[in-house]
Structure 1
Amino acid sequence: MRGLRPRGHPGCVTAHGASGPGPAGGTGRPSGSGAGGGPAPVALTWALAEAALGAVEEVGGYAGGVYLRSETPGLLRLAVLVGLPGPLFRPWWRMHTNRPFPVAEVHRSGQAVHLADAEDAMRRFPQLVASLPFPFASLYAPVTTGRERFGVLVALRAPTPGVPVDARDRGRMTRGALRLGEALAGLSRRGTEVEWTGDPVCVQLPTGSGLPVRFGSFDWDLLSGTVTMDDGLLRILGAGVTSPCTIEDLTSLLEPEDGYALWAAARHATGAGGRPLVRRLRLKGPDGGLHLLEVSARARRSGPEKGSRLVGTLVDLGTGLIGSDATDRLPRALLAVDRLGRVTYVNERTEQLLGRPRRDLAGRPLWEALPWFGHAFHQEQLRAALLSGEPVRFLARPEGGRWLSVSLHPGRDGVTMVLQAEEGSAGLADRPGTGRRVTDDLASPGDRAADLYRPVALAIALTEAVTARQVSAVVTEELLPAFGGRQLAIYLLSDRRLYLAWETGFPQGFLEPFDGVGLDARVPGVVTLTTGRPLFFESMEQLGRAYPGLPLDADQGARAFLPLIASGRPVGSCILGFDRPRGFSPEERTVLTALAGLIAQALERAQRYDTESAVARGLQDALLPHRLPVRVGVDTVGRYLPGTQGMDVGGDWYDVIETGQGRLALVIGDVQGHGVAAAATMGQLRSAVRAFALGGHRPQDVMKGTNRLLIDLDPGQFASCCYVLLDPETGEARAVRAGHPQPLLLRPDGTADQVDLAGGMVLGIDDGASYPVTRLRLAPGAVLALFTDGLVERPGRDIDEGIERLRRALAATASLPLSETADRLTREARQATSRPDDIALLLAARWPEGG
C-alpha cells in the first residue's frame, strides 16, 4: 500500500507499498518497518500479522500480537500488535527474557502459559498485574521449531474468573504458534533474517457485520494485482477512481492498518475451501472521512484460473464521520475511536463542547485530536477500557480549563466516549472582564495518580533484583525509558569514597576520574549525597556554570544527580543523563527523588546479600571436596554449578570416600533450600555420611544414621541422597537411595539407561525410615552417573523429559574421557542465563580391561 506511517502513530509501524508477490502470487502485499531498524521483509511481516490475526480470532479475543527475537541477545521486541493502539502500549514494546513476565517465561521455558483472569495472573505474574491492573485473560504460546526459539504468540480476551482456559483454545494457540514457527523456519532457510529491530506493526482487527446501505463489487486477479470494479463500487469510492486499476490504487484508499485485514480476507478465502468469509474494513472517502465497508470474499474454484481470482462485495454501511441527526439531538457529546485509537465518529455536541470542528478531529489518533489524552493518567484510563472491556469514568481538565466528566464505553470494535462539562466548572475557566483563569499548578487527582505508576512498576521490578548488578540493570531497563534518559551511572559509598558500580551510555573512560572520589570533593555526585538534595541541570552549560572546571563530555544534554539514601543512611549517588537539554517539572523532580529512595533501599539490600552470599560461597567451597581420591581401576570426576537466582549457593554436594577394605563410597545429595543455612546443613550431612562410611557401616545403616542425625539437627529440614559402595576390583556395588533421582549407567557398548534402585523416604522426615539395598555391577568400561535434580529439571517441563535428555547426552559421550564427559553433560546448564537450582554431578568409570 502507498500510505506511510499514519499521522499520530510515531512508534507504530504500519503497512507499506510493496511490489513483491501477494498471498497467491499477486502484488501489493503490505509490509512493515521499524523506526530503529528499517523496513522489515515483506514475507516476515505478513507471516507475523497473519498468525496474530488468526490466533485472536480463533480464541475469541479482542487483541494480540507476536514478540520476536531481536539482534540483542536476551531481548524480545513486539513485532505485531493487533487490535490495540501501538503508542498507548509503548512500555511493552521490549521484553527482556529474564523479566518476571509471562512472555519472557514462555520464551525461556518453551512452555505455553494461559491466564484465565487477573487473580490467576496475580498468583503467577504479579508484575504483569501491577503494570496492567485490569481484568483480562491472556494466552501465550512459544513460537518454535525444533530447538530454535523465535518468539511468543499472544492473545488477549475477556476474563473467565474461576474457569481455566478451555483445552480447545489452548490447542488453537499451540497450533497457531507451531504453524508460525514452521513459516519462520522456512523464511530463515530462504535467507530471511528472522529478527525484529524496529517498532511494532499495528494491525486492525476485522469487525462484525452491520446494516447495508450501498453495494459495490470487485474482481481481484491475484496473479497480476489487477482489480476490476462495478459502477456501484466506483460510486462509493468517488471521483478520481477508474476501473480497472491496480490493487495498490485500491489499498491506497484504506487506512494502512486495514490493508492487513484485506490481505487476511484474501488469504483466508483462497484457503477456506470455497466458504465465503466476511470482514469489515474502513475506507477513506473522498472527503477524508472514514466509512465502514464490508468485504464478503470467495475464491473461484473452477475454470482455468482456479484459485487465482478473488471476487468480493463491498457494502457502505453509512456510518461515516458526519454523524446523524439522531445523535446530534442527544444531550451528550459523543466521540468514538476504533481499537487502534483513531477517531471514527464525532457528533455536533462534541464540536460545541471542545470548540473544535469535526474535520480537525476525525481520522486522527485520539491523543492528537485531544492532546490532553497524551497525559499518562488519561492514557491509563484508555488502556483500562481497551483491555478490560468495562466502562471507565474519570475527570479531565483539557488544556487546564473546564473540568469534564469522561466516560469510556468499550466494545470489540472500539470505544465510545461520552463527554460532559462538570457543573460549576465554567467558573474555573476564563470569564470576560475578570482576568481569572485556572493555572496548570492546580493538578487534578488524575495528574497526581499518574505519578504513582512509575514508582510502583519500578518498585515491583526492584523486588526481583538481589545483586547490585541486577538492581542497576533494572534501573537501566525501567527508569531510563520512562524519562527518556540515555545515560546512567551508579556510585556506591565505601570507606568515605564513591566507587563506580554501574554505567551505561557515557563515553568510554569518561567516568574513570570520578571513580573513588572522596566525600570532600566538590563534584555534583558527592554534593547530592552529602546534602541529601537532588541536583537538576537543564543543560551542560548550566552544569558548567555551577561547577567551573568540572570535566564535561561532548553531549549537550541535561543531567540529574540523585542521592541514594536508605533509612537515613547514605548508600551512594545516581546520575541520569539526557541527550538534549530539557526542563524538569516539579512532578518529575518529586518522582525521581522518590525513585532514588527505592533504588537506595534495593542497593542496600543487595549489599547485604553480596556479603551473605560471599560467606555462603566460602563455606560451600570449604565443604565440597577439592580433589577426589585416585584408585587403580576407577576414575571419578565431580562437577558443581551454583544457581543464579536468589542466593547463589545451595545444598547440593558430592563426595568420594575411601572406606577401607579397598572399597569406594560414591555419594551425592541435595539439601532443601538455598543460602547459608542450606550450605551449613549440607556440610553437616557430608561429614555425617563420611563418618559413617569410614566406620565401616553398611550402606543402609549409613543412610539410617544420617536420617536420624538430620532429624535431631533441624526438624523440618529434609534432603535427598544416593549412596553407592563400589568394589573397584570386581565392579560389584551396593546402593541405597533416599528420595533421590535414579542414577544413569553407560555400558561399554555405548547404550545408557536408568539404574532401577530401590528407594526410601527422603532424609529428615521419619526417624524409623528404612533404606533397602540394590546390588549392581559396573562392567569394565562402564560409567555410573549420579546427579541432582537441578541438572534435569526445567520450569514447566516434566522431569522425565530432562532425564531422557541427559540419558541421550550420556550415551553420546561413550568414547570421550571422563572429564570431557562431565563437561558435556553440564554444558547446557553452564550456558543458561538463569539457573533456579544448583547442580551436582558425580561420574565413576571402571577402567576397561587392559586399560
Structure 2
Amino acid sequence: MGEPGGYGACGDDRAYGDGRTAAQQVDAQVDHLLTELVRDTGAHIGAVYLLVREDEVLRMVAVTGVSRHVADPWSRVALAAPVPVAEAVREGRRVWVASHTELAQRFPRTALALPYHVALSVVPLTSGTTRWGAMLQIWPGTHAPELSRREARAINDARHRISRLLRRAADDGHPVRPTELRTVSPPPIRNEQPGAELTERFPEGTCALDLEGRITFLNSKAAALLGRGRHDLLGARPWEALPWLNDPVYENSYLAALFSRLPTPFVALRPPDHWLAFTLYPDTTGISVRITPTEPPGQDGQDREPFLTPPVTAQARPGALFHLLHLSTALTEAVGVKDVAEAVTNQIMPVINVQGLALLTADEGRIQVVASRGFPPGVAKSFDGLPLTAESASLRAIATGAPAFYANNEELRRTYPGIDLYREMAAFAYLPLFASGRTIGCCVLGYDQPHPFSPQERAGLTSLGGVMAQALERARLFDTENQVARGLQAALLPHDLPRVPGLEVAARYLPATRGMDIGGDFYDLIRLDDTSAAAVIGDVQGHNVNAAALMGQVRTAVHTHASAGAPPDEVLARTNRLLIDLSSSLFTSCLYAHLDLRHHRARIATAGHLPPVLRHPDGRTEILDVPNGLLLGIEPEAGYRTADVPLPAGAVLALYTDGLVEVPGTDLDAAIGELADRLAEADPQPLDALARTLVRCAGQTRQSSRGGDDIALLLLKVARLDRLRGRARPIGPLT
C-alpha cells in the first residue's frame, strides 16, 4: 500500500484486528481514496497536503503517480506562497488550471519550476471553518478546458470523505499530523519482463524506467548503444550511471514525459562521436524508451518527424533552460522598471541565446518600448507610441494573451505580409506579459538563425514571460509610488532659502539610494529680521512616507515657534510636546541655532543631533561641544540647554545629518573628526562649491561601503556687516 509513515494520529498506537494502528488505518483509507480518485478521473498524479498551522506551511503527506524523489521539491509549500496549492487553502475554493499557458499567466513561478504541458486541480480539505489541507491532481495538457461533471463529482466526493476522516480523528482526540511523505502503490523493480525475447528482435534499443527513473529493463541493443553492460544499468538512473547524460536537461526530459504523459524526444552525444536519439513514451506505471543512432544535429539534411529526433538548438543545449530559475531570482530582486530592463537584457538574453529582445508595455492605448537590444534602431522607434489597434504579431499577443512562435522569417511574413522590420532576424517568439489579471505588454525575442521551438522550450519561455510580467508590474508600481514619495519629500523641503544680509548660505540634500526608503532628513533657514536668522537641521527616525510626513510637521512647528520669538531651548521644548501630542512612534533629532549677525554669535540647542562643526577664519576647525538633550518625541517634560558660540566674520558653521558622516563599521566620533578635517583642508572656494565637495566625498564613501542614508547639509558663512538695517531680535541673556 506504500511506504511506512505518511499520517500519524497523535498518541494513538492502538492495534486493530489486522495489526494496524489507528494512524495506519487513516493512512490506508486516505491511500485508497486518493488512488481511487486518480483512477476515476483519469489523472496521472495525485497528492494530499496537510496544513501545519503553527508554521503556516502545507506539507505533502501522500502522493501517487510519481516518486518521492520527484515530488520532494513540491512537498513543502508556504501558505502565503503565490502557488495553486496555497491559494486553494487560503481562499477556500477550487483552483483549476487548464493549461501551461494559463499556469504561466496566473502562477508564473510555479510554471517556471514546472515547465510541462499539464492541467491541474487543487481543492481545499475543510470542515466548516477548519482548514485541514489540500488535494492536488494533475492531468496531461490534452485535458479538456474544463472538468467534466463526473470528474467534479468524484473530486468533491473524495474531498469530503478525506475531510471527514480528518475531522473524526481530531474529534476523537487524535488529530492527524504530517510525518514522512509516503508514495502510494509504487511499481516494483523488475530485472526481466515478459516480452523480452520480442524486444531482442527489434533493430533499435528499448528500455523501461519506473516512476523513480530507474532502469527496470533494457534489451541488448540498448546496452550496446549506451556503451555499458546490462547488469551495470539495471536499477540505476540513466543520468547517474552514464556520465554523458549527467546534465539536468536530460533528467528534465524524463520529468517532462512523466508530468505531461506525452512522447518526449531528445538527442545526446555519447563520446566520442556517437549521436543517439531518445524518445520517451510514458504511462501510469513508468516510461518506455526507444534509442536509435542518429546523425549530428543539422548535418543530415533531412526533415525529421518532430517526435523522433528534433535538432538540438542553442536553446535546448544542456542546462540552458535551468538557468531560467536563477534568472527569475534576478527579476525578483529588480526594483524599478530600469532594473527589470537591465536584468532582462543583460542576464536573460545570453542564457536563452537570443540576438534580439524588445520589452513592450501597453499604456493608455499605445505601446511603450521599455527596453530594446539587438534589433535595428528603427524597430524600437516604429513600436514606440504605436496604437494597440495596429496589426502586428506583438499587438496580437497583447490582445489575445497567447504566445506565438515563428520558427523562421517566412512563417512570420505569411501571417503578417506587410512586416519588413525584422530583416536581420530569422525566427521569433512573442511572449505576452500577463499580470494582475490582464496583459500588460509583450516580450519579443529574435533569433539570427531559424529556430524550431520544442514544446518544452515553448513552455519554459511562456513561463519566463509570466515572471517578467510580474516583475515589470511590480517595478511600475514601485516607480509610481517612489515618484509620489519623492515628490512629497521634495515638497516638504524648502525650495528657496531666504536672503539674510551678512550671511552666505549653501544647502545640499542627497536622498538615500535604497529605492523607496525615503527619509525624514530636513533643514531650514528662517529669517527673523535684518540681522538675525534661525538655522535648523534634523532627522526623523525611519525611512518611509510616515517619516517624511512627520518631518514636514516638525519643520512647520519649528518655523512657527521661531517666528514667534521663542529662544532655542523653548523652540525644541514646544516642538517636543507637539510630537508627544501627535502620538507618533517616530523620534526626531533636531539642532536649532539662533544667529545674531550684528554681534557675531550663535545660540545653539540640540535634541540628540550630531554636533555642528565650526571652521574659523584662519582655517582651523572645531567640533562644537553643545549640551545634548533627548530626542524629540520621547519625554513630554524634556528640557534643553543652550550653548553660546562666537561667529567671527569669515567663519563657516556646518550643520549636517548622519548620512554625511556615518559609514557602517566605523566609529561615529572618528567619522565626524574626518568631516572636520575635510572642512579644514578644503581649498578656498565659494560656499556652494564647498557644499558640493563635502557631499560628493560622502557619496563616494557610502558607494564603496554599499550603504546609504539621506544626506542633508547646511553651510552658513558669516560676512562683515558694513551697514545693518533694523535691530536684532533679543534671544535672552548670554551665559
Structure 1 SS opposite 2:378: coil
> Is the Cα contact below 8 Å between 1:640 and 1:838 reproduced in 2?
yes
Check the 8 A contact 1:612/1:676 in 2, yes or no.
no
Unaligned residue ranges in structure 1 (runs of 5+): 1-130, 132-350, 358-365, 380-397, 403-424, 433-437, 442-446
**TM-superposed deviation, 1:678:** 2.5
> Separation in 2 of the partners of 1:427 and 1:655?
75
Paired residue for 1:71? none
State the match for 1:370 in structure 2. 243
| 3-state secondary structure, aligned to 2:505 | strand
Q: Match of 2:47?
A: none
TM-score (norm 2): 0.55
Deviation (angstroms), 1:667 = 0.5
* 1:694–1:375 Cα change, 3 Å: same
Whole-angstrom CA distance in 1 between matches of 2:408 and 2:577: 69
1:552 pairs, out of 400, 403, 421, with 421
Query: 2: distance between equivalents of 1:697 and 1:377?
Result: 79
Q: Could you give the per-residue CA deviations for residues 43-100 of structure 1, whole angstroms, max 9, x where no partner exists?
A: xxxxxxxxxxxxxxxxxxxxxxxxxxxxxxxxxxxxxxxxxxxxxxxxxxxxxxxxxx
What is the SS of the residue equivalent to 2:411? helix
Determine the C-alpha separation between the residues in 2 that align with 1:707 and 1:462.
Answer: 44
For residues 511 and 709 of structure 1, do their structure 2 counterparts lie closer, same or farther at Cα, with a shift above 3 Å needed? Answer: same
Query: Structure 1 residues 803 and 505 mapped into 2: Cα distance closer, same or farther (>3 Å)?
Result: farther
Q: Which residue of 1 aligns with 2:386?
A: 517
Q: Which position in structure 1 is the counterpart of 2:630?
A: 761
Does the 8 Å CA contact 1:829/1:835 hold for their aligned counterparts? no
Q: Is the 8 A contact 2:526 2:533 kept in 1?
A: yes
**Higher RCO (CA < 8 A, seq sep 6+):** 2
Q: Distance in 1 between matches of 2:321 and 2:411?
A: 30
Q: CA 1:427/1:780 → structure 2, altered by over 3 Å: closer, same or farther?
A: closer
| 2:598–2:721 contact (8 Å) kept in structure 1 | no
Separation in structure 2 between the aligned mates of residue 557 and residue 790 of structure 1, nearest angstrom? 53
Preserved CA contact (<8 Å) 1:721 1:762? yes
Does residue 691 (structure 1) correspond to residue 560 (structure 2)? The answer is: yes
State yes or no: 1:713 paired with 2:713. no
Q: Distance in 1 between matches of 2:374 and 2:320?
A: 26
Alignment TM-score, normalising by the size of structure 1: 0.48
The Cα offsets for residues 400-422 of structure 1, whole Å up to 9 and x where unpaired, read as 799xxxxxxxxxxxxxxxxxxxx
Asked if 2 retains the 8 angstrom alpha-carbon contact of 1:788 and 1:841, the reply is: yes
Deviation at 1:651, TM superposition (A): 1.5
**Residue of 593, 598, 608 corresponding to 2:467:** 598
Residue of structure 2 aligned with 1:624, choices 479, 482, 493: 493
CA drift of 1:782 comes to: 1.0
Identify the match of residue 786 of structure 1 among 625, 649, 655.
655
Which residue, out of 709, 714, 733, partners 1:842?
Answer: 714
1: CA distance between counterparts of 2:692 and 2:380? Answer: 40
Contact 1:663 1:726 in 2 (8 A): yes
**522 and 759 in structure 1: CA distance in 2 versus 1, 3 angstrom threshold:** same
Q: Displacement, 1:837?
A: 2.3
- Contact 2:433–2:466 (CA<8 Å) still a contact in 1? yes
Give the letter aligned to residue 749 of structure 1: D
Q: Give the alignment of 1:312-327 within 5 angstroms.
A: none
Change over 3 Å in CA distance of 1:605–1:804 after alignment to 2: same
Deviation at residue 494 of structure 1 after TM alignment = 1.3
2:645, 2:691 → 1: CA distance?
Answer: 22
Deviation per residue, 1:303-340 (Å, 9 max, x gap) = xxxxxxxxxxxxxxxxxxxxxxxxxxxxxxxxxxxxxx
Provide the C-alpha distance between the structure 2 equivalents of 1:451 and 1:484, rounded to a whole number of angstroms: 9
Q: Is the 8 A contact 1:615 1:676 kept in 2?
A: no
- Which one of 734, 753, 757 corresponds to residue 603 of structure 2? 734
CA distance in 1, matches of 2:247, 2:491: 59
Whether 1:671 and 2:540 are equivalent positions in the alignment is yes
Alpha-carbon shift at residue 688 of structure 1 (Å): 0.7
Letter in 2 for 1:637: A
Note if contact 2:388-2:395 (Cα within 8 Å) is conserved in structure 1.
yes
Q: Give runs of aligned pairs for residues 520-535 of structure 1, distance below 5 A.
A: 520-535=389-404
Partners of 1:577 and 1:400 in 2: CA distance = 24
Match of 1:824 in 2: 693
1:330-365: CA deviation from partner (whole Å, max 9, x where unpaired): xxxxxxxxxxxxxxxxxxxxx9895169xxxxxxxx
Q: Distance in 1 between matches of 2:434 and 2:512?
A: 31
- Residue 765 and residue 538 in structure 1: after superposition, are their counterparts in 2 closer, same or farther (change >3 A)? farther
**How many angstroms apart in 1 are the aligned matches of 2:683 and 2:597?**
20
2:409 maps to a residue whose letter is M
Structure with the greater alpha carbon radius of gyration? 2
Given that 1:653 and 1:670 are in contact with CA atoms closer than 8 Å, whether structure 2 keeps it comes out as yes
Whether 2:445 is the aligned partner of 1:579: answer no
2:368 to 499, 503, 519: 499
Q: Is the contact made by 1:785 and 1:844 (CA closer than 8 Å) also made in structure 2?
A: yes
Q: 1:836 to 1:527 in 2, by over 3 A?
A: farther
Q: Are 1:617 and 1:648, in contact at CA under 8 Å, matched by a contact in 2?
A: no
CA separation of 1:816/1:559 partners in 2, compared to 1, >3 Å: closer, same or farther? same
- Rounded to whole Å, the distance in 1 between the matches of 2:407 and 2:291 is 36
Deviation for aligned residue 1:655: 0.2
Percent identity reads: 43
Q: 1:619 Cα deviation (Å)?
A: 2.4
For 1:232-247, what aligned pairs fall within 5 Å after superposition? none
The change in CA–CA distance for 1:430 and 1:475 in structure 2 (over 3 A counts) is: closer
SS at match of 2:494: coil
Q: Which amino acid aligns with 2:554?
A: L
Q: Report the alpha carbon displacement of residue 480 of structure 1 after superposing the two structures with TM.
A: 1.8
User: 1:641 & 1:713 partners in 2: Cα distance?
Assistant: 28
Aligned-pair CA distance for 1:734: 1.6
Aligned twin of 1:340: none
Q: 1:565 aligns with which of 426, 434, 438?
A: 434
What letter is aligned with 2:521? D
Asked if structure 1 preserves the Cα contact closer than 8 Å seen for 2:621 and 2:676, the reply is yes
Instruction: In structure 2, list runs of 5 or more residues that go unmatched.
Output: 1-112, 114-222, 230-238, 253-263, 269-284, 293-306, 311-315, 724-735
Q: Which amino acid aligns with 1:845?
A: K
SS in 2 for 1:518: coil
Deviation (angstroms), 1:512:
0.4
Q: SS of 1:517's equivalent?
A: coil
Shift of 1:431: 10
Q: What residue number does 1:647 align with?
A: 516
Q: CA deviation at 1:574?
A: 1.4
Deviation at residue 730 of structure 1 after TM alignment: 2.0
- Cα distance in 1 for partners of 2:410, 2:673 equals 64
C-alpha contact 1:660 1:694 (8 A) present in aligned 2: no
